[in-house]
Each structure stands twice: as structure tokens, then as C-alpha cells.
Amino acid sequence: MHISDGVLPISVTVGCYVASAALVAWSARRTRNEELPKLAVMTAAFFVASLVHVPFGPTSVHLIIPGLTGALLGPSAFLSIGLGLLLQSLLFQFGGLTALGANALMMGLPALACGWFFQRYKGRTQLRQAFVGGLAGAAGTALAAIILAILLVAGGEDFFGVAKIALLAHIPVIIVEGVVSAFTIGFLTRVKPALLQTSFLRQTKAAHG
């Protein structure tokens, strides 16, 4: 799902970098010291999951787990995804440095949205949390695929066909990510429910005091 260097117009590339830098700074400020071990684990999971590419026509698909990352990290999810993408770009040339801002927005924004959704609607029972976690996992990949298509269209008419293929190619990935997220959230609900608490939830409680 990574966008490569040279695909996007310079104006879009610069705009994405500015927006991503602002969100990374916001995410870093919202990250507590005690959350750093969990952030490191999820960054590693995102890094590894995104390395396994399955070719699909002129594009490729892979797990990206933005919904699961958002559910477990909350506001810290954007920082986690940004770090993972930076390491992938530097170590394996996935995406490229000029497209880093666009890739961060493409995967980080769905992570934030799904993190809020999970904390808002997860409820208290294990079944409900697994179900909402599965929805968040599927929605995160769906949103990322939609943003990918929008960014590709911004690259010009030459990429319009690729954008349509990219959307279709990620339909099975959306299903798989939903299942993986539901299983992971359900498991954590049983063995370590504290890992499902993020600052999204803490601030909501504080606001209603």
C-alpha cells in the first residue's frame, strides 16, 4: 500500500509532509512514558506486517493493521506508524522518503479514527470488545485504501486505473484484518485488559468527571 517516490505532485507531497509533521508532534505530546513499551511493540508489529507483500496486478497488498494499532495506542498510533514507515523507507526503500508524509497520512489517519471508534464503542464485555475491535481493524484498512486511491488520483490520470485496482485488491485484506483484530482484541480482553486502555478513554472519563 506504500506510495512510491515520484508518484504524487510536489504540492501534494509538501502538503502531506506538513500535515504529517503536525500530527506526529501532536501524537508525541500525547504519548506517556509508560506507553512507550506498548508503542514499541506495535511499531514492530506494523513494521513486520507491512513487509510481506502479495503482488496484485500493477500494485501489491499486505497487512497494515492501522485499526488494531489505533485501538491499542490511541493518539500514539500516528507516531507509531510514522516511525515504522520511516524505518521501512530507510532500511528497505519501501515507499521512499519523499512519499513518507503521504504514506503516514494514508495509514495514520485511519488509525486515529479507528482508535477513537474502538474506545468510544467497545463496551465492557469480551464479545463486544472483540466485535468492535474487528470492525475497527476492517475499517482501518478500508479507510487507508480509500485514502490511497484519492492520493493516486491526485497523481494524475495515469494512476486512475491503478487506484481502482488498489481498492479492489484490498477487499480480502480488509476481511483478514478484521478477523485478526477481533482475535487479538478478544485475546487481550481475557489476559491483559489494561492494554486496551488509551488516553482517548482516559480523557473522555476526565471530561465527564
Q: What is the CATH number of the domain that holds 96?
A: 1.10.1760.20
Query: Per the domain annotation, does 2 fall within a domain?
Result: no
Query: Per the domain annotation, does 3 fall within a domain?
Result: no
Residue 3, C-alpha cell as written in the block: 506510495
pLDDT tier for residue 143 given thresholds of 50, 70 and 90:
very high
Average confidence (pLDDT) over 152-163: 67
Name the most confidently modeled range: 106-120, 146-160, 162-176: 106-120
Query: Per the domain annotation, does 4 fall within a domain?
Result: no
How far is Cα 45 from Cα 67, in angstroms, rounded to an integer?
13
Angle formed by the axes of helices 100-121 and 199-208, nearest 10°: 50
pLDDT at res. 53: 63
184-207 confidence digits (pLDDT tens): 999 999 998 888 887 665 544 444
How far is Cα 52 from Cα 174, in angstroms, rounded to an integer?
15
Query: Per the domain annotation, does 5 fall within a domain?
Result: no
Predicted TM-score of the model (pTM): 0.85
Residue 45, C-alpha cell as written in the block: 508489529
Contact of 63 with 49, CB cutoff 8 Å: yes
Helix/strand/coil for 62: coil
Examine the pLDDT at 162 and tell me if it is beyond 50.
yes
Examine the pLDDT at 41 and tell me if it is beyond 70.
yes
pLDDT at res. 76: 95
How far is Cα 52 from Cα 33, in angstroms, rounded to an integer?
31
Higher pLDDT, 145 or 164: 145
Angle at 113 between CA 112 and CA 115, to 5 degrees: 65
Contacts of residue 50, defined as CB under 8 A and 6 or more positions apart, other chains included, come to 1, 2, 62, 63, 64, 84, 88, 94
What's the chain's length in residues?
209
Query: Per the domain annotation, does 141 fall within a domain?
Result: yes
Residue 13, C-alpha cell as written in the block: 507531497
Domain that holds residue 21: 10-208
Contact of 191 with 78, CB cutoff 8 Å: no
How far is Cα 156 from Cα 188, in angstroms, rounded to an integer?
44
Contacts of residue 132, defined as CB under 8 A and 6 or more positions apart, other chains included, come to 117, 118, 121, 122, 123, 185
pLDDT tier for residue 92 given thresholds of 50, 70 and 90:
confident
* Number of domains composing the chain: 1
Query: Per the domain annotation, does 1 fall within a domain?
Result: no
pLDDT at res. 206: 43
% pLDDT > 90, the chain: 50
Average confidence (pLDDT) over 133-142: 94
pLDDT at res. 58: 53
Amino acid identity, residue 187? F
pLDDT tier for residue 131 given thresholds of 50, 70 and 90:
very high
